[in-house]
Amino acid sequence: MKGTALSAVLAATTLLASPVFAADNDLCALNMQKINDQMATTGANSEGLDDFLTKHIDEAKAAQASGDKEKCITISSKVLERLNKQEKGDSSGS
């Protein structure tokens, strides 16, 4: 009985932990997709972006291409934060 319960707990722990590791690996790609979606939704293009966003989006893409997930996550998170602030500023001014 103890062996079965222990096996069930171990299996549940493994299943619950797996998505966390997968999510960490995919956070870079997820952030980049959110950036693309947000830019498409707001109609932003490279001409309408400020230098900060343009520079950091390029850096995040380069980090993603080189496989540096941590750098990509850090940079893309900053870009998303900035896009969200701009979006809130635009919607509150209307």
**pLDDT (tens digit per residue) in 18-35:** 454 455 558 999 999 999
Which pLDDT does position 46 carry in this prediction?
A: 52
Residue type, 11: A
DSSP line for 48-90 = TS-HHHHHHHHHHHHHHHHT-HHHHHHHHHHHHHHHHHHHHHH
Higher-scoring residue by pLDDT: 50, 1: 50
Which pLDDT does position 32 carry in this prediction?
A: 95
**pLDDT (tens digit per residue) in 40-77:** 887 665 555 678 888 999 999 999 999 999 999 999 99
